[in-house]
Amino acid sequence: MPCTISVTAPSYAVTPLTFSCSKSTPIYHTSNFVTKQNRKPLLTVTKSMNSNRVVKVKATVSIEKETPETERPDTFLRGNDDGVASSVRFRFEKMIREAQDTVCNAIEIADGGGKFKEDVWSRPGGGGGISRVLQDGAVWEKAGVNVSVVYGQMPPDAYRAAKGAASNDQKPGPIPFFAAGISSVLHPKNPFAPTLHFNYRYFETDAPKDAPGAPRQWWFGGGTDLTPAYIFEDDVKHFHSVQKKACDKFDPTFYPRFKKWCDDYFYIKHRDERRGLGGIFFDDLNDYDQEMLLSFATECANSVIPAYIPIIEKRKDLPFTDHQKAWQQLRRGRYVEFNLVYDRGTTFGLKTGGRIESILVSLPLTARWEYDHCRNQK
C-alpha cells in the first residue's frame, strides 16, 4: 500500500515528487510536461543514521591515472590533427569549456557568495580535465561542473559501459578511443528548488590493433533533466519548453523522441520509479550529419542557463520546514541510487579508473535512506 500520511501544508505548497511503495504505484508520465501520479503527502523524518564504513571500488582496467596540473592548458589535445581548429574534437572541446565558464559564472551570481574550487588534471597518455565544485554556498549545497577530454586505450568493459545496449560490435582487446564532455549536477539547499543534471559528450573509437583498416566510429550523447523534490507545474512547463525550443531548431521529431528517451533512461528499475520529471536525453547519436549534431549539442548546452536559473531565482528563498527538508533528503537518496547503479557515465568512469572525485561529484553532500519509511509513517 502507498504512504498516505496527511500534513498541513503552507499556502505555497506544491505536490511532492513521491516514491513508489509497491509495484502497483509507479511514478510515470502521462502529459506533455508534468508527471501525474498518485500524489502522496510529505513524510515526517525525525531520526538520522550515519555510517563510517568505507567502500572501495576497483576499476576493471585503468586507462591511466591523472596528474594534477597547476594551470589550465589552451587545449588538452595533442598529436597530428587533434589540435587543428577545424576538427570536431577541437571545436567540441572549445564548446564545452566555454559552456563550463558560462554555467559556473551564472551559478556564482545566483548563489551570491559561493565560489567554485577548480582542479586541473591531465593523463600522460592523452588528455585531461577541469573539475569545478562549489560547496556549502548560500543557494547550492553542492554544484559540480566538469569538463574532460580523454583519449587512449579503452578496456572492453569500459567500451560496453560507453555503448550500453549498442555494444554488440565490440572487438576483443583494448580499443583506441577519444571522449570529451561536460557533465554537471547542481543540488540546491532549498527543497523547493530542483536539482539539475546536464551532460553533453562526443565519443570516437578507432580500429583496434587486431583489426587494422576498420572505420572510425563516432557518436554524440547527452541531455538535460530536472529532479525536483516538490512539483511546481509552472517550473516544469518552463523547463520543458526551453528544451523543446532547442530541439525544434534542428528537427521537430527531436523533442518527443528525446523526451521519451529521457523518461525511459532515468528510471530506477529496482524501485519501479522515475528519478525526476525528465527533460531530454540521447546517446549513440550518429545518424545525422556530424556538423549538425555538433551544432545541436552546442545549442542544448547553451540552453541550460535559461532553462534553470529562472526557476532557481523563484524558489531559492522560499521558507521551508524541517519536514520538507527531510523529504528532500529521501528524494536525494533515490538520486544516489540511480547514479551508482544505472548511470552509464558513472559506470564508464569507474571501469576506466577515472578520477573518482570528478566521477562522484554528482552525489549530494547529504542524503537519507530510512528503512521502510512507508510503513513507519502509518
Neighbours of 52 (CB within 10 A): 4
Contact 183, 150 (CB under 8 A): no
Distance separating alpha carbons of residues 44 and 257, to the nearest angstrom: 38
C-beta separation of 342 from 273 below 8 A: no
Q: Are 126 and 150 in contact (CB under 8 A)?
A: yes
Q: Whole-angstrom Cα distance, residue 193 to residue 367? A: 16
- Residue 190: what residue type? N
Alpha helices by DSSP H, listed for 177-272, are 233-248, 254-265
Q: Cα dihedral sign for 280, 266, 286, 74?
A: positive
Helices assigned H by DSSP within 16-58 = none
Cell numbers representing residue 345 in the block:
557515465
- Burial call 222-249: b when 16+ CB within 10 Å, e when fewer: bbbbbbbbbbbeebbebbbebbbebbee
299 contacts 53 by C-beta, under 8 angstroms? no
Q: Which residues form the catalytic set?
A: 197
Residue 181 phi/psi, 5-degree rounding, is -170, 165
Residue with cell 548546452: 301
> Nearest Cα to 103, choosing from 300, 282, 314?
300
Cα separation, 338 vs 264, in Å, equals 13
Q: How far apart are CA 334 and CA 268, in angstroms?
A: 8
